């Protein structure tokens, strides 16, 4: 049976209204809110519930109900709740589900994105009428798809805008200069921190090479780091240089560069610039203060040590037993203080570049044997044995013999102090590429992983309490690292708590020339 003339007229009007809505309203809920009141009236239905999928892989969810008060039936009415939980798949053809004695649920497909559940009382919709309204719901499906796409686009725009605003806020407030260059080193981006550090407006700098604002030695260092970053793509490369400014003396800065993301439009590098002028000044003042105090302490300490030595030698006559014990304590602590002052002065000379190095090409085994012979008495006092193993007789290194002994002395004394009585400290050496690696392994308790980053810092001690059992100034490993690095080497360690520690350093082999 064909739809009545009245039904046909209403369906034509619905199609017209829907066509207008698709052109006027992209937002889902406002579009559905305008469509369903006349649609329900034309179809004689009580309510409409629209279930939609956010994507093709998800199950449909209830997105809209008209009238709104009818929404709760899916939760409160057991018949609707059972249907909602048991039938979440999208129907491919219109389907009627009987709810109770007099309520029908007409499930109208909305393409592949969901369905519309029309609630009708008493008589169901006639099959011919259902077929007649299918094109309308197909058009509604297209409109819903467009609205969902629009929602997703708007959401992505909002997320992008929020991320852009957050990034802009960070770039404007961060204290570090952030810059980008193209593959020729020309500045393409600078954040506001640049003007605060250099005193130069950003507009005057973009389009110019960063090297124009660096001192000559800084220009050379930056170009080397720039080329290395582009050629190798390694992680951030670090250098220190002086930055030219407008109204003041050049500022010392730390520059880090890394190759920009491969997808960036102009290649080049991205980097940061940190003003370290005040930090360098504070470090210089601290070093000068330390050096001054150390020098001032050395003279009276020498006199004190000499006086104690004379007392120990009987220059003032025999001492009572109690007095001898006190003099022995004073002598021991005087020696500890002398070691501390010597370490402080060595560190100052190392940092200032004033510690002389006399490089020679030397056989490694005699150097190692000498160090073990010197430290075996100290090891004997702790009940520890020193062993030299796995060192090729012909292995040679380029080093300063005195500084080499100083490095090995620090590592051996630490290994002995942390080894248990009856333990062994093993010294080995083997080639690594163009270098020789020397390893000192102990059988101590190992190093707490939380202390690993501080191992080579000045005055760092895993046990810094007043009651620690092992002495030391906390400068030995810091000095050792400086010595190794100034001999063109590197240093590190491996440790597992409870399984000892292995400290190693690498020094270059003699060049073939």
Condensed to tens digits (0 to 9), the pLDDT of residues 241-278 reads 888 887 767 888 999 988 887 655 567 888 899 998 88
Edge-to-edge order in the sheet of strand 385-388: 385-388, 424-432, 435-441, 501-508, 490-495
Q: Supply the DSSP symbol for 509.
A: P
Distance CA 103, CA 86 (A): 18
Model pLDDT for residues 331-345, shown as the tens digit of each residue: 878 877 777 777 777
Q: In 3-state terms, what secondary structure has residue 357? A: coil
Distance CA 111, CA 145 (A): 9
Q: What is the dihedral of CA 411, 414, 416, 419, to 10 degrees?
A: -120
Residue listed under structure tokens 């300063």? 400
What is the rounded average pLDDT of the residues 446-463?
76
- Residue 391: left (phi > 0), alpha (psi -120 to 50), or beta? beta
Q: How many alpha carbons fall within 13 Å on the CB side of residue 263?
A: 0
Distance CA 384, CA 415 (A): 10
> How many residues in the chain?
513
Distance CA 445, CA 462 (A): 12
Q: What is the pLDDT of residue 135?
A: 85
By the 8 A CB rule, do 407 and 441 touch? Answer: no
- For the domain spanning 5-155, the CATH number is 3.30.450.40
pLDDT band at 2 (very low <50, low <70, confident <90, very high): very low
Distance CA 462, CA 451 (A): 6
The answer to whether residue 490 scores a pLDDT higher than 80 is yes
By the 8 A CB rule, do 347 and 286 touch? Answer: no
Instruction: Output the DSSP codes for 337-389.
Output: HHHHHHHHHHHHHHHHT-S----EEEEHHHHHHHHHHHHHHHHHHTT-EEEE-
Looking at CATH, the fold of the domain delimited by 360-508 is given as Heat Shock Protein 90 (3.30.565)
175-275 to CATH, choices 3.40.50.1240, 3.30.450.20, 3.50.20.10, 3.30.70.260: 3.30.450.20
Q: The dihedral of CA 229, 234, 240, 246: what is its sign?
A: positive
Residue ranges per structural domain of the chain: 5-155, 175-275, 282-352, 360-508
pLDDT band at 216 (very low <50, low <70, confident <90, very high): confident
Paired tokens of 12: 């034509």
- Architecture label for domain 282-352: Orthogonal Bundle (1.10)
Distance CA 243, CA 215 (A): 6
pTM > 0.75: yes or no:
no
Burial class (CB in 10 A: 0-12, 13-18, 19+), 150: middle
Q: In 3-state terms, what secondary structure has residue 391? A: coil
Residue listed under structure tokens 């062994």? 424
Model pLDDT for residues 374-399, shown as the tens digit of each residue: 888 889 989 999 999 877 777 889 99
Q: What is the pLDDT of residue 87?
A: 56
The answer to whether residue 467 scores a pLDDT higher than 60 is no
For the chain, give the mean pLDDT.
Answer: 82
Closest CA to 507 of 430, 415, 394: 430
Identical topology for domains 175-275 and 282-352:
no
Closest CA to 510 of 430, 403, 399, 424: 399
Q: What is the pLDDT of residue 465?
A: 43
């Amino acid at each position: 049976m064909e739809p009545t003339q009245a039904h046909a007229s209403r369906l034509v009007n619905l199609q017209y209204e829907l066509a207008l809505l698709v052109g006027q309203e992209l937002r889902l809920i406002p579009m559905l809110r305008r469509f369903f009141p006349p649609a329900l009236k034309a179809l004689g239905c009580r309510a409409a519930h629209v279930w939609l999928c956010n994507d093709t892989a998800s199950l449909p969810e209830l997105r809209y109900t008209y009238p709104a008060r009818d929404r709760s039936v899916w939760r409160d009415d057991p018949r609707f709740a059972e249907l909602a939980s048991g039938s979440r798949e999208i129907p491919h053809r219109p389907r009627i589900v009987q709810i109770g004695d007099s309520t029908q649920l007409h499930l109208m497909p909305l393409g592949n994105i969901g369905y519309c559940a029309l609630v009708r009382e008493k008589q169901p919709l006639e099959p011919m009428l259902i077929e007649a309204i299918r094109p309308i719901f197909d058009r509604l499906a297209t409109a819903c798809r467009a609205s969902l796409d629009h929602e997703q686009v708007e959401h992505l725009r909002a997320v992008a805008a929020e991320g852009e605003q957050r990034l802009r806020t960070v770039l404007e407030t961060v204290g570090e200069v952030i810059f980008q260059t193209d593959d020729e080193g020309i500045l393409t981006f600078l954040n506001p921190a640049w003007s605060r550090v250099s005193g130069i407006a950003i507009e005057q700098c973009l389009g110019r090479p960063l090297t124009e604002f660096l001192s000559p030695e800084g220009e050379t260092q930056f170009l080397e780091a720039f080329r290395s970053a582009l050629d190798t793509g390694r992680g951030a490369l670090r250098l220190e240089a002086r930055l030219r400014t407008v109204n003041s003396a050049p500022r010392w800065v730390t520059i880090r560069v890394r190759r920009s993301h491969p997808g960036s439009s102009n290649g080049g590098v991205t980097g940061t610039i940190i003003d370290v002028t005040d930090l360098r000044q504070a470090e210089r003042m601290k070093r000068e203060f330390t050096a001054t105090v150390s020098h001032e302490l050395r003279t009276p300490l020498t006199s004190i040590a000499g006086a104690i030595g004379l007392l120990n030698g009987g220059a003032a006559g025999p001492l009572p037993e109690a007095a001898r014990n006190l003099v022995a304590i004073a002598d021991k602590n005087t020696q500890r203080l002398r070691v501390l002052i010597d370490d402080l002065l060595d560190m100052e000379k190392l940092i200032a570049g004033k510690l002389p190095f006399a490089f020679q090409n030397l056989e490694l085994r005699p150097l190692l044997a000498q160090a073990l012979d010197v430290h075996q008495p100290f090891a004997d006092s702790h009940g520890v044995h020193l062993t030299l193993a796995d060192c090729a007789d012909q292995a040679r290194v380029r080093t300063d013999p005195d500084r080499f002994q100083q490095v090995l002395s620090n590592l051996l004394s630490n290994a002995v102090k942390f080894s248990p009585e009856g333990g062994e400290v093993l010294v080995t050496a083997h080639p690594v590429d163009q270098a020789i690696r020397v390893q000192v392994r102990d059988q101590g308790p190992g190093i707490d992983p939380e202390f690993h980053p501080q191992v080579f810092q000045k005055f760092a001690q895993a046990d810094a309490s007043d009651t620690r059992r092992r002495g030391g100034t906390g400068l030995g490993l810091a000095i050792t690292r400086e010595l190794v690095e100034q001999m063109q080497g590197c240093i590190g360690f491996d440790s597992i708590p409870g399984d000892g520690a292995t400290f190693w350093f690498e020094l270059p082999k003699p060049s073939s020339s």
